[in-house]
Structure 1
Amino acid sequence: MKKNWIAILVLLGLIGWGAYDYFDKADAKKQSAEDTAEEEASIPIGLKVGNRAPDFTLQNLVGEEVQLADFRGKTVLLNFWASWCPPCRIEMPHMEKFYAEYADKDAVVLAVNMTHLEDGQENVVDFLESFGSTFPHALDVTGRVTDQYQVVAYPTTYVLNAKGVITQRFQGAIDYNMMKEAYSRAANNR
């Protein structure tokens, strides 16, 4: 009988220790998440390297909402382009290649078409289809986001790390190797 009591006490002790350890780790994880959110909130929103990129919501060609914040946790190449822009045409195959090879490494290309500068959405559709683009896209129909991001040269690409912080900005076309280097820099700057 005494052995049973000892076994029960040991078992209760193990259960108690397990519960304490579980809740202690849950509290630590919660605190870590709160610290991370607080740290991210302390980063100023802006367009300079080291700023958190301003969030926005646009629609894609099929009318679905695309929000920049949905890509938090990934390295983002935020690319502003137009179908009539020759450097954009040169850059697009590089973007597609980068996206195809880096999507499984938590990287994404978010291509924002400056639709307010296009002759019509059919040009956007034709452009994306001609390059076989598979990465996410959004339409800036009013020019609000283009203005917000102070895009004056076409294309313009902002590189964001997993926290949504700008690590680089490129004005003009970039190639696959530049994208790889920008990804590496952003991924190491978490």
Structure 2
Amino acid sequence: MLKKVTFTLFLFSLMTIALTHTMAEAAPDNLPGLRVGEKAPEFELKTLDGKTVKLSDYRGKKVILNFWATWCPPCKAEMPDIQKYYNEADDNVEILAVNIDPQYDVKKFVRDANVTFPVLLDSKDEVNTLYKILTIPTTYFIDGEGIIRSKHLSVMTTEIIREHIKNM
């Protein structure tokens, strides 16, 4: 039974990736979620260690705002690349990873994945709703003025992240 559930989740994830890649190539401005060029909505969330973080705390920096879940295979697949980029990024770039399933053991996931960038907990599903997240992973690239400059729906590699940041 567990194998069937795992296989079904894996198959669903692959179909989601294929669909979002097709949508992104066809019409990037028609992707689900907030539109490129909009001001990124302000939010306030707690980190894993209980610190309160607001998006406006990072004004003046480029922000990679990544929405993910512990049960999501594509999210797990991109974590090492996001961490690799975080390790090489300069001080003008910040990564904020918004977890949408804090009822699970997010701390264990972060520890096992060796994640060192800030992980925020959307325990009331408010930011997920505010940013109109329909599929995960979804990542918004926000400039220093707080404007969404691009978004990516699907697994990111380090190269994809570099390209989005370069074009900001």
Q: TM-score range by the shorter chain?
A: 0.7 to 0.9
TM-score (norm 1): 0.69
1:48 and 2:35 matched = yes
Whether 1:155 aligns to 2:140 is: no
Q: Residue 177 of structure 1 aligns with which residue? A: 159
5+ unaligned residues in a row in structure 1: which ranges?
Answer: 1-45
* Selected match of 2:121 from 139, 145, 153: 139
Match of residue 64, structure 2, among 77, 100, 113: 77
| Relative contact order, higher structure (CA 8 A, sep 6+) | 2
Give, in angstroms, the shift of residue 47 of structure 1. 2.3
Structure possessing the higher radius of gyration over alpha carbons: 1
Give RMSD over aligned pairs. Answer: 1.3
Q: Secondary structure at the match of 1:66?
A: strand
**Paired residue type of 2:82:** M
CA distance in 2 between counterparts of 1:162 and 1:177 reads: 21
CA distance in 2 between counterparts of 1:105 and 1:126 reads 27
CA deviations over 1:40-97 (Å, ceiling 9, x no partner): xxxxxx9211111000001111211011111111111100000000000000001101
- Number of aligned residue pairs: 136
Structure 2 unaligned residues grouped into runs of 5+: 1-32
Which is richer in helix?
1
Pairwise mapping of residues 1-190 of structure 1 onto structure 2 (< 5 A)? Answer: 47-102=34-89, 104-115=90-101, 118=102, 120-121=103-104, 123-186=105-168
Deviating runs (4+, > 3 A) in structure 1? none
Whole-Å Cα distance in 1 between the matches of residues 84 and 94 of structure 2?
11
CA deviation after TM superposition for structure 1 residue 105, in Å: 4.2
Q: Taking every aligned residue pair, what percent have the same amino acid on both sides?
A: 40
Distance (whole Å) between structure 2 residues aligned to residue 91 and residue 113 of structure 1: 14
